[in-house]
Structure 1
């Protein structure tokens, strides 16, 4: 097996857990972290599930755009990443699940689903979560 080559590394620091602050060590991004009101938190910031949804959605759409280019498919792509925090009865803790809704302008659902599955196989976030969390990938109609 070929050894992987590091292409990019970033580092983030969190203080205070789910009710604190997170920032990148290069000072390019800082965010207040807060548990959602629905879970008894203040809701006065972003929660880890929101940040995961943003990152996964962007990464997945990047993979989708690459697979579209390889297939000579043009048009805008949209990826909606829905991240849910669930209870985990196996350890009385928590787990997350994800639904990726994928749309490609000018493509029917069958063609979109095929490209979405290729993106899912390629996306680094999808690879990292494979076998660890439930991820559903589904084609939907493009919304202008």
Structure 2
């Protein structure tokens, strides 16, 4: 049974070179095409916001998985998310790489935890089958189970 927990609201004007604002005004910033594509310096872009959200959300999924195992995630553990904008034919798309560094865990333990977090993270669930997501543990690509791709 689906239970709604929270709904975020934001509005945009001016597209990639405009402005975004969340309904509570916590986010209230200018947007720009990425600087490498001719945009201005000092403004964010949708890919950066997506990367920050995915990294944060995936880190929380790792905290949940650790808690289910009666463990505590090392506070120095990190999730680095890279989001790539690409063009394919007339359309555009995104791909992501999550590189997880779980301090204090060996490669196998970390791989297991990352795969389990990928099952429950709302960003992973939402992107599954819709965009390519690569998982890495300490810089090393890991294989995804068939049901976790």
Q: Separation in 1 of the partners of 2:39 and 2:109? A: 42
Aligned to 2:92: 94
Deviations 1:14-72 (A, max 9, x none): 00000000001222221110011211222340000000000010001000111011123
Aligned to 1:11: 9
Q: Could you list the runs of 4 or more consecutive aligned residues of structure 1 that deviate by over 3 angstroms after TM superposition?
A: none
Aligned to 2:81: 81
C-alpha displacement of 1:116: 0.4
Aligned to 1:138: 136
Secondary structure, in 3 states, of the residue corresponding to 1:80? strand
Secondary structure, in 3 states, of the residue corresponding to 1:82? strand
Aligned to 1:53: 51
Q: Separation in 1 of the partners of 2:35 and 2:59? A: 29
Unpaired segments of 5 or more residues in structure 2?
Answer: 140-149
Q: TM-score, normalised by structure 1?
A: 0.89
1:27 aligns with 2:60: no
Q: Separation in 2 of the partners of 1:129 and 1:43? A: 29
Secondary structure, in 3 states, of the residue corresponding to 1:102? strand
Q: TM-score, normalised by structure 2?
A: 0.86
Q: Separation in 1 of the partners of 2:20 and 2:27? A: 8
CA RMSD of aligned residues (A): 1.3
Q: Separation in 2 of the partners of 1:47 and 1:29? A: 13
Aligned to 1:125: 123
Q: Separation in 1 of the partners of 2:71 and 2:104? A: 9
Count of matched residue positions in the alignment of Structure 1 and Structure 2: 137
